[in-house]
Chain A
């Protein structure tokens, strides 16, 4: 049971470089989201999607782009990496955006921007 798969697990970038964090789920979940976790800040929502072709901004969207062309995949793009984007990134999915549906998380991507 793969669940939510994130790649890569670790990444080091130089300031100004771009990259895509991959997220895939095999549970046919409609709702997918990206969070970043910084020390003492909990998890903060970057972007989310309620279905293929539909995305919306979360609490901290600046510097990130997303798209949702399929139900399974929800990549997060860093357009021009900055040291402030050094963080641990989590992708999550759930069946639908109803209040009781549990979000399941990937293992995370640890990103360092130098």
Chain B
């Protein structure tokens, strides 16, 4: 069975600083994908970044990067130069051979001015 664990219910960061949101996963599938989604207070789910299990390099998308450590089964999201608009819930998710996308419980990020 697949499982995603996000151990930080809430995180605080100062504007313009970097922040790392933790995600660990568990799966027996050799091929899987890891995703991060952002959910602002308006409620929609916004895709941020994807990392494949066989990708050699860590994924990056603008200010978002994924620190992928396969041996440790971790896929932490790094947000550089935080902005006030980054305040939101962030969900880590995984999709493996079962076809299902499994989510963690999320981390609420607050960016302080």
Which of B11-19, B29-37, B69-77, B79-87 binds A? B29-37
Report the minimal beta-carbon distance from B47 to chain A, rounded to whole angstroms: 5
Q: Is the CB of A100 within 8 A of B33?
A: yes
Q: Is A19 close to B, CB under 8 A?
A: no
Chain A 22-52 interface 0/1 with B at a Cβ cutoff of 8 Å (1 = within) = 0000000001010100001111110010100
Q: Is the CB of B100 within 8 A of A99?
A: no
Measured as residues with beta carbon below 8 angstroms from the partner, the interface class of chain B is 20 to 34
Query: Which parts of A58-113 form the interface with B (CB within 8 Å)?
Result: 58, 88, 90, 92, 97, 99-105, 107-108
Q: Is the CB of A99 within 8 A of B47?
A: no
Q: Is the CB of B50 within 8 A of A42?
A: no
Q: Is the CB of B99 within 8 A of A108?
A: no
Q: Is the CB of B100 within 8 A of A58?
A: yes
Q: Is the CB of A102 within 8 A of B102?
A: no
Report which B residues bind A (CB closer than 8 A): 4, 31-33, 35, 37, 43-45, 47, 50, 52-53, 91, 93, 95-97, 99-106
Report which A residues bind B (CB closer than 8 A): 31, 33, 35, 40-45, 48, 50, 58, 88, 90, 92, 97, 99-105, 107-108
